[in-house]
Amino acid sequence: MPRHPSPNALAALLERQSIRAFQPEQVSRHTIEQILDAARYAPSGTNTQPWHVIVVSGAAKTRLCEHVAQVRRAEPEREAGANVAGEYRYYSDPMTEPYLSRRRRVGWDMYRSLGIAKGDRAASRDAAGRNYRFFDAPVGLIFTLERVLEKGSWIDLGIFLQSVMIAARHYGLDTCAQGAWARYHDIVRKELAIPDGHVVVCGMALGYADMHAPVNTIRAQREPLDTFARFVDQPLATKGSTVA
């Protein structure tokens, strides 16, 4: 069964999770438009609003997923390593601590929920392949940025992505943001007529969560506040100064 709509923004923030199994129930175009119409109020540097989104569903989504599946079989090397193939690097290489441990922890939690044993590469690859079906969500979103834009616009896009995810919770829908689609940017570009001047940044699955699926019982652990936040309410000593 799906989840109830979030009653307010704070609840939506706390309830949002990456959903990796969806129900087949369709999402109306009106609802998708309402979500994106709300997300367009996300802030951006000097109001540049650099984001672009393509909504894909029905036969177009099926064709895109089938095309990527064909390429996955023919070119397994695309998914070797942690970074995307082609247009940009998502992770540092090598990945350092504490980030590596956090990544591994959520990965193994997810694999355990799916019954995948450590070292079972075939099962792991099959699980990764569900990314390229949008985890069976009825709607896929593909996000792009113009190639000429700089890092500030990538920050803006991140804020827009979160806005989409929070707005989706208002309507009782769930999401999973997917950097994995960037590995197949050339296929996505061809199927969806994306101009060469745009970078395929990521995708997102959108639909009604299947909360009976074991994989959706996994919640990624979050670090406590004191590990990432520091409060300063007095001037800090500068070089050469004397602190009594």
Q: What is the 3-state secondary structure (H, E, C) of 25-76?
A: CCCCHHHHHHHHHHHCCCCCHHHCCCCEEEEEEHHHHHHHHHHHHHHHHHCH
Amino acid 120 reads D
Q: Which of 36, 226, 24 is nearest to 135 (CA)?
A: 24
Contact between residue 202 and residue 177 where contact means Cβ atoms under 8 Å apart: yes
Angle at Cα 175 formed by Cα 171 and Cα 181, nearest 5°? 145
* Mean pLDDT calculated for residue range 80-97: 86
Confidence of residue 239 (pLDDT cuts 50, 70, 90): low
On the question of pLDDT at 227 being above 90, the answer is yes
pTM of the shown model: 0.92
What is the reported pLDDT for 241? 55
- Label residue 162 exposed, middle or buried (CB < 10 Å: 0-12, 13-18, 19+): middle
Compute the mean pLDDT over every residue in the chain, rounded to the nearest whole number.
Answer: 93
Cα 194 to Cα 146, 191, 204: the distances in Å are 10, 8, 16
Q: Quick check: bond before 76 cis, omega within 30?
A: no
Which secondary structure element, helix H or strand E, spans residue 84, and what is its range?
Answer: none
In the chain, % of residues over pLDDT 90: 84
> 137, 82, 116: which is closest to 218 by C-alpha?
116
The Cα 55–Cα 61 span in angstroms is 9
Helices (H), ranges, the chain: 9-15, 29-39, 58-74, 99-113, 121-129, 151-170, 185-192
Confidence of residue 189 (pLDDT cuts 50, 70, 90): very high
pLDDT at 244 over 60: no
The encoded tokens of residue 208 equal 């009604």
Return all residues near 51 (Cβ < 8 A) that are at least 6 apart: 42, 44, 143, 145, 156, 157, 160
Q: Which has the minimum average pLDDT: 103-112, 171-180, 222-231?
A: 103-112
At residue 52, does pLDDT exceed 80?
Answer: yes
* 3 state SS for 226-244: HHCCCCCCCCCCCCCCCCC
pLDDT band for position 205 (50/70/90)? very high
User: What single DSSP character describes residue 210?
Assistant: -
Ordered domains of the chain (ranges, CATH): 9-77+131-221 (3.40.109.10)
At residue 80 the predicted structure's pLDDT band, cuts being 50, 70 and 90, is confident
Torsion over CA: 18, 1, 207, 15 (sign): negative
Residue 2's Cβ-count burial label (10 Å; 0-12, 13-18, 19+) is middle
